[in-house]
Amino acid sequence: MRYQPISNTLFQENRSRFTSKMKPNTIAILTSNDVKHNNADDVMAFAQNNDLFYLSGIDQEETILVLYPDAYKQENKSILFIKEATEQEKIWDGEKLSKEQAAQISGIDRVESISDFEILLQYMAFEADGFYLGHNEHLKRVTKDQETQQDRMIQWCKKKYPLHTYHRAAKITRDLRPIKSKEEVALMQKAANISVASFKRVLQTVKPNIKEYALEAELTYNLIKSGATRHAFKPIVASGKNACALHYNANDAVCKDGEMVLMDFGVCYANYNSDTTRCFPVNGKFSARQKEVYNAVLHCLKEGSKLIQPGVLPADYEKSMAQLVETELIKLGLLDANDVANQDANKPLYKKYFMHGTAHHIGLDVHDVGLYSRPFEIGMVLTCEPGIYIPEEGIGCRLENDYVITENGNINLTEAMPIEIEDIEALINKK
């Protein structure tokens, strides 16, 4: 694997927390994601199902985890099923995890071949009263037209064991995963550290007439060189007016003299992610107007990040953030104070220039699981990302950091990433 081994105590503790929330005499079954094909015999890079990884640490396809905490036999309480490579597969694709390796990674003593899953499950199923099954609920917008390995497992189980009760594993993991352990925060800090170094490379590279994808290449180079798994998401490298399209990622335009670049990017290390956004001038010098807009957003970030505190409801936080941005929009001359005072509360005027939320959970998913009806708590890791977008001026600015909520205030995992105007200009002009 590219990343350093993770202590299996993390996954043992995660399983203990998970099974403590299961109903009596039930079995949980978590499956890996599919390998996705594109054309002919080529495949996309594999990404593990994050609930399975959270509970096992196994980063390999064709894996099933079975948890039965109330099993009569001790050996049936936790079983990991993995794919073992045939001699022919070893020739073409290389080795898969051995049972011994999978046991060491996961901390699960009993590891079996996935080909034995159905018969071994049957030995236990009729002792149990129900099942917990995984489902990509968090990805409802993405997977609505797709059938996943988890979908097939649900269909198979209900056909095979129709009289058992069924429960949602995701309901448990969405409760557990928002609170990060020290080990998880350390992994996210590694991802953030790689992103800091990657951003500094970009600042040393940017110049008028460079292509956006050339800056993306600098991110990619340092990411791979540093042992990261992949980009956390397809990076946004948006120059000029492209920055006003929130999810622009064509990254094929020319960065012109006098424009500003918005770069929203993240690093995935050991399946844990960072998510940061920075803006910088193509020619190494912010214009007067760019400075005004940038400083307005930076003010919102600094003040807004202080609002991420234990006990605060996300909706109340977002309302406060909107008020911060609204005030800055008035100062920038984009909104009239009288108009704002008399606006329709259901159609706030700030949304013309600021139209997105500013905090989301981050962890194994970039937009990590967690209910936004749940107040912020110690141990959560959240982004703060205010922005102002002015298409008529060709300026889009968003700034984003990742914050861990602690007993003693927030820790900015991306503290080392340059954000002050003078620091950014100095690094660009240091070439």
CATH number at residue 84: 3.40.350.10
Q: Which amino acid is at 211?
A: K
Domain co-membership, 218 together with 159: no
Q: Which of 129, 144, 176 is the last residue of a domain?
A: 176
Domain co-membership, 170 together with 189: no
What tens digit of pLDDT does each residue of 329-348 get?
Answer: 999 999 999 999 999 999 99
Cβ–Cβ < 8 Å for 216, 201? no
Q: How far apart are CA 260 and CA 281, in angstroms?
A: 4
Q: Report whether pLDDT(285) > 70.
A: yes
Q: Which of 176, 200, 216 is the last residue of a domain?
A: 176
Domain co-membership, 300 together with 210: yes
Q: Which of 153, 176, 199 is the last residue of a domain?
A: 176
pLDDT at 86: 87
Domain co-membership, 165 together with 276: no
Task: Indicate the number of domains in the chain.
Answer: 2
What tens digit of pLDDT does each residue of 357-374 get?
Answer: 999 999 999 999 999 999
What tens digit of pLDDT does each residue of 1-26 get?
Answer: 889 999 999 999 999 999 999 999 99
- Please report, to the nearest 10 degrees, the dihedral formed by the alpha carbons of residues 119, 121, 125, 127 taken in order: 90
Supply the pTM of this predicted model.
0.95
62 within domain boundaries: yes
Q: How far apart are CA 305 and CA 309, in angstroms?
A: 9
